[in-house]
Amino acid sequence: MNKKSIMFTFIAITMLFVILVSFLITVQTSTKSQTDKILAKTTATNAFVESFSVNVESALKASANQAILAIEDKMDIDDAYLNGNRDVIIREAISDGKYRGNDLRMMKFKQPDDTITDFTLSSTLNEFKKVAERGNIILTYDLLDKQTINSAMVSPWSLNVNFQLKNVKVTDKEQEVSWNLGNLDVEATLDITKYRDPIYLVSDDINITVIKTNVTDFESSDNLNYFIDNFQFRNHTDAPDFMQRLFGDFNSISNNGYETILNSGHINPPNTPNPNSDSYVDFLYWGTKAVSPSCSIAGIPAPIKLDSEHKIYYTGDGCPIP
């Protein structure tokens, strides 16, 4: 082999080597760029997924809270307690913004700029889809099944609301990164001390917020007067709870029931008090349950009276036997 042939072979091998190295560098750079891109998508999508479970609870809480406010607004307008199946009424308010087929004005209303604010659960959840889209993320789930919406009192002052969001999936727009979250059980707790008491709202036609009393010693007439004058409430298991009060279920009892004693300034309200009860315990005064005997309380202004059972409960002593 002559020198020209050797030189030509060397040049050819060198060129092939340079081409190979260039190709490897290009592939490595491309692979690194693609890896970084997927890593960024994974981080962003994962952050959305991690925050979604918390935010979807906030969505439920916002819709359920507005539904209670809207229901009480309806009661105030109609001057009437709710009527119908409790679960159906609450579900319809949260999911459809309606009460017995009629729109609740506080669930969907027009802003000054003509935009519509919609507090129904489907609409509130849809806001997360819009947020996801701005981050190039696609959020999908099945249409809301309002039959999964349930509510229950979990304490005298707390209402639990829950529902199931089905077939939840999160992916990026190129569908390179995805999460299948399946069915999510979502729940939120509402503080009823943010709402108006239903019995005062309808039967006494005044707005009294549910205030949990901090009084512990009711045998003191000063403390009992403070409790009465400030329209405060106390847990008592012979009383109806907040949900029962929404429906005017005066005769219902609940471990989460609460009550107050009517102020003597509210003895001439629009509705007729219970003729079989002189007791100023709210659900007895406005209800249908007959109670006897009743009597005045030392240190408490007339005409406030309590039935013997509640006089024992508050003061330790019952009414004299007639």
Return the percentage of the chain with pLDDT > 90, whole number: 61
Q: For residues 61 and 136, which has the higher predicted lDDT (pLDDT)?
A: 61
pTM for this structure?
Answer: 0.84
The domain locations on the chain are 3-192, 198-315
Distances (CA, A) of 173 to 18, 103, 203: 38, 37, 56
Mean pLDDT, residues 112-128:
89
Q: What is the mean pLDDT of residues 139-162?
A: 96
Alpha-carbon torsion angle 155, 186, 119, 199, nearest 10: -20
3 state SS of 1: coil
CB 274 within 8 A of CB 289: yes
Looking at residue 22, what is its pLDDT? 43
Q: Running DSSP on this structure, what letter comes out for residue 275?
A: T
Instruction: Give the model confidence (pLDDT) of 221-255 as tens digits.
Output: 999 999 999 999 999 999 999 999 999 999 999 99
Tokens of 87: 């679960």
pLDDT of residue 40: 60
Q: How many CB atoms lie within 10 A of CB 256?
A: 21
Averaged pLDDT of the chain: 86
Q: Is the pLDDT of residue 281 over 70?
A: yes
Give the SS3 label for residue 122.
helix
Measure the CA–CA gap between 120 and 93, rounded to whole angstroms: 8
